[in-house]
Amino acid sequence: MAEDNEKRHIVNKTYDEIRIGDCASLSRTLMPEDVKLFAVLSGDGNRGGATHGYSESGMFREVMAHGMWSGSLIATVLGTQFPGPGTILIDETLHFARPVTIGDTITITVTAKQKFDHNKHVILDCVCTNQENLQVVRGTAEVLAPTEKISRMEEVHHPLVSVDDKHERFLQMLSLVRGLEPVPMAVAHPCDESALRGAIGTLLDPHSCWMLLRSLETLFRRKAAGAASASGHSSVHLPAPAR
């Protein structure tokens, strides 16, 4: 997500200005970075919204947005457009009709449905549709509408945000060398079972390279016995260096 600065006219609608049927909308396209960032912010990373693997094993076969990604865009419309700055969300009920996947363009529309003069609350219909005009989310929101008018130019700063996904960078690196000639590699002195598992576990293709294990033979055999994944790899006995 690139850094961006823009000047924007900030304006709201006060409770007295709102008429039944007034509406506002916003469109956003779901990008892979949105899914990753939402997973980090919400802590919900073990689901289809965060990994391809989980998606492929579940009901839906594509990477999906977290449900509340769409819900958060409803809050964006309420807080920045209609009613706008000064709005306080009181209650919200949402129904998630179908998944939102990478590349989908979602249009969020909120429409004033009912007003309550005694507490300045407004009930709004909230509908999110995709690029095929199919509803993905629908529901209602109750807000405390602003009573003070706001209308001004304001510079909006969008900071540069990036998600450092080490596993994805590792897979990208592997894709660059896939198909090249294997390179011999040595793992020096795996002195316990976990160290041996760690060394062998880094090999995605056990036939792509072979391992030299610098260890005492008795130590290696004892530790390797508990590591079933070691089967199929060759070992070379190298005596311990003289002291």
Residue 204: its pLDDT value, please? 46
- Residue 100 to residues 77, 104, 130, 228, Cα–Cα distance (Å): 18, 6, 8, 41
Yes or no: say if 163 and 1 are a contact pair by the CB < 8 Å rule.
no
Radius of gyration for the chain, computed over Cα atoms and rounded to the nearest angstrom? 28
pTM above 0.75, yes or no: no
| All domains of the chain in start order, with CATH | 19-152 (3.10.129.10), 182-243 (no CATH)
Q: What is the mean pLDDT of each run of 10 residues along the chain (243 residues)?
A: 73 97 97 88 66 49 86 95 96 96 96 98 98 97 97 84 79 85 67 67 50 51 57 55 51
Residue 3: its pLDDT value, please? 59
With the C-alpha atoms ordered 13, 28, 2, 67, is the resulting torsion angle positive or negative? positive
Q: What DSSP letter does each residue of 41-76 carry, written as one string?
A: HHS--SSTTT-HHHHHHSS--S-B--HHHHHHHHHH
Residue 232: its pLDDT value, please? 57
Pick from 105, 111, 110, 113: nearest CA to 136: 105
* 184-236 residue pLDDT tens: 766 666 667 776 666 666 554 444 444 444 444 555 566 666 554 555 555 55
Residue 177: its pLDDT value, please? 84
